[in-house]
A and B are shown apart, each in its own frame.
Chain A
């Protein structure tokens, strides 16, 4: 009545290791466990990458469109011209500020030199040229001349002070020359 199981009841531990059925069973087991998990992980990574790229590409494309639109606005002739004009004006204003604050005015220097010449000395000619000053003087007053020479030589703002004195009758003809030190200018 009851059929006996056809499979032999044996516990055989001595079967060959690389038996085909074992390999298949192992492969199936690997595919269904570790392989499955690997596949899931890969799928997750692929999906994340896909959506990330999807959104990032969209954002990148939008930005490219925006940049192109802005460039076309800036390439418009009016804007281009305005841009150049404002650049020029900015440079000009910068230069104006530089010359306004950076340059030394010489009128006060000339005024100081002229006011330092004693009244007893008669100026025959005066020349101021950059940093060199030449003065031709006449005077009968040697002391005044000597004082003037001392004052120039003792002034640290001046250098290379030269006095050339000739006697013409009662008067002394004097050629004075000196340099104005650049640091004081």
Chain B
């Protein structure tokens, strides 16, 4: 009986696969159009609200990129803020020193066409520098597992911070100031959309299942012909790339960076976003990043009680998982991401 009907079944399985293959691009196009629209209405948006949107977008990029390493590939990394620092400093050096020195007659201010046009290559180069750092850390240490990897990444994060603190060329502990405010709604929201799209498109493919296979069972993955080290390093490098891009956006949004801004606590905050959003669920993680950004803003007025309330709310978040619920709702509303995971039989 069953051998007579397999092709009937094929069609239903493919039926669920088809929207999955086509629609992430549609989602990206909509989000990019939204970013352009947002930027063109930028004048009517309150500057404070604008800043919150910038921070939320940067946190989304950080969280979904760490999610690739922690959530999808199952590797515990404690140095995501360090990759962000590498990107931030690289970009600040590019726009603050290298560009003015090599092209002295360019008008470089936050909104000048030259700096806006050059910002894309700056973002990409900053990301690549961070990705290189990710490769240097990842290639040797990703042969380690679990706790050992956590320790190596913790150490690396501190090394980066201490190096920056003691390098006078980048301001040492004082940091770098007077960075051009190039980051605007278009760059922040657009890059967040690209990051989220990349993560979803990457994981929802035969190739992307390799990350999950490595997370679920490394020995079995290797026995099925998957080069597990290569997959782990790839996840780490892509994660570091987007963390570097986020760092560049951050530097050009707040106009001032210092080594302390990229310490272990910053890494930890990103980890909280990933865990709250549900490990391995990019949309949920993005929602969690937005919620935590908003939480940080709401709690600003509480001054000394801020961390107490923050901790309490995080505990409540952990129990009730609002970001997963919002993500599930979004999955239902949006065309992509349905019928993908094994959760729904």
A and B part of one assembly:
no
Interface residues of B (CB under 8 A from A): none
